[in-house]
């Protein structure tokens, strides 16, 4: 299945059947990258596929093939109704230092870790998505959180 067809198909599935009106945790908690990783993994369940932790920032360390492989892993797992988690490291200037997605077979969760001054501990938030949009630019997931 080519990437465009997969994106359109997944987009319709996610918008139709993801989340509820209740969020898992709207209040950020203090923590570091290990704490964030643990919370994302916990949201996906014990048998989840690890789609990786990849760098999605702007430096020369960015590897488009790794990013695409992580995204494809998550999309394929979702299409098969298999739990997964994926974590992205970023530069943290105008975005989260870490972001991640977890799917437990029923609900999709989005998480972020922000370091206020660039050093731990940061603020961790993991929330159930009320609706998910698939952005074809960069193949990125966008979680719409419940209000």
Counted domains in the chain: 1
pLDDT digits over 60-72, tens only?
Answer: 888 999 998 998 8
pLDDT-derived band at 142 (thresholds 50, 70, 90) equals low
**Is the pLDDT confidence value at 101 over 80?**
yes
Burial status of residue 7 (CB atoms within 10 A of its CB: 0-12, 13-18, 19 or more): middle
Q: Which domain holds residue 83?
A: 3-145
């Amino acid at each position: 299945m080519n990437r465009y067809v997969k994106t359109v198909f997944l987009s319709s599935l996610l918008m139709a059947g993801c989340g509820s009106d209740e969020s898992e945790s709207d209040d950020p908690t203090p923590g570091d990258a290990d704490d964030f990783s643990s919370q994302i993994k916990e949201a996906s369940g014990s048998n989840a596929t690890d789609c990786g932790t990849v760098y999605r920032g702007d430096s020369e360390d960015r590897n488009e093939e790794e990013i695409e492989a992580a995204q494809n892993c998550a999309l394929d797992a979702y299409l098969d109704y298999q739990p997964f988690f994926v974590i992205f490291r970023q530069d943290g200037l105008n975005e989260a230092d870490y972001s991640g997605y977890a799917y437990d077979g029923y609900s999709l969760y989005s998480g972020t870790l922000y370091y206020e001054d660039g050093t731990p501990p940061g603020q961790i938030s993991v929330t159930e998505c009320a609706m998910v949009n698939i952005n074809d630019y960069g193949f990125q997931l966008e979680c719409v959180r419940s209000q």
